[in-house]
Amino acid sequence: MSKKVLLNSKEIEIILHRLACQLIENHNDFSNTALIGLQPRGSFLAKRLASILTNDYHVKNIPLGLLDITFYRDDFRRRDEPLEATDTQIDFLIENKNVVLIDDVLFSGRSVRAGLTAIQSYGRPKNIELLVLIDRRFSRHLPIQPNYKGRQVDAIDKEKVIVHWKESHTKDGIYLENK
Partner 1 sequence: MKQLSVEHLLGIKYLNKDDIDLIFETANHFKEVINRPIKKVPSLRDITIANLFFENSTRTKLSFELAEKRLSSDIINFSASQSSLKKGETLIDTVNNILAMKVDIVVMRHPNVGAGVFLSKHIDAKIINAGDGTHEHPTQALLDSYSIKEKLGSIKGKKIVIVGDVLHSRVALSNIFALKLQGAEVKVCGPTTLIPKHIESLGVKVETNIQKALEWCDVANVLRVQHERMDVKYFPSTREYTQLFGINNEILDNLGKKITIMHPGPINRGVEITSEVADSNQSIILNQVENGVAVRMAVIYLLAQQIKR
Whether 98 and 125 have beta carbons less than 8 Å apart is answered as yes
CB of 42 to partner 1, least distance (A): 17
Nearer Cβ to partner 1, position 25 or 91? 91
Q: Which residues bind partner 1 (CB under 8 A)?
A: 68, 70-73, 76-78, 81-88, 93, 117, 120-123
Q: What is the DSSP string of 124-167?
A: --SEEEEEEEEEETT--SSS---SEEEEEE---TTEEEEEE-TT
CB of 73 to partner 1, least distance (A): 8
CB of 160 to partner 1, least distance (A): 18
Q: What is the DSSP string of 62-91?
A: --EEEE--GGG-TTTTTSSSPP-----B--
The H-or-E segment that residue 118 falls in is helix 110-119
Integer angstrom CA distances of residue 115 from 10, 50, 52: 30, 19, 24
Nearer Cβ to partner 1, position 57 or 76? 76
Nearer Cβ to partner 1, position 5 or 85? 85
Nearer Cβ to partner 1, position 22 or 123? 123
Nearer Cβ to partner 1, position 21 or 93? 93
CB of 36 to partner 1, least distance (A): 14
Nearer Cβ to partner 1, position 27 or 73? 73
Whether 68 and 118 have beta carbons less than 8 Å apart is answered as yes
Distance of CA 96 to the CA centre of its chain: 21
CB of 145 to partner 1, least distance (A): 24
Q: For strand 33-38 and strand 98-106, is the pairing parallel, antiparallel, or unpaired?
A: parallel
CB of 98 to partner 1, least distance (A): 19
Q: What is the DSSP string of 40-53?
A: TTHHHHHHHHHHHH
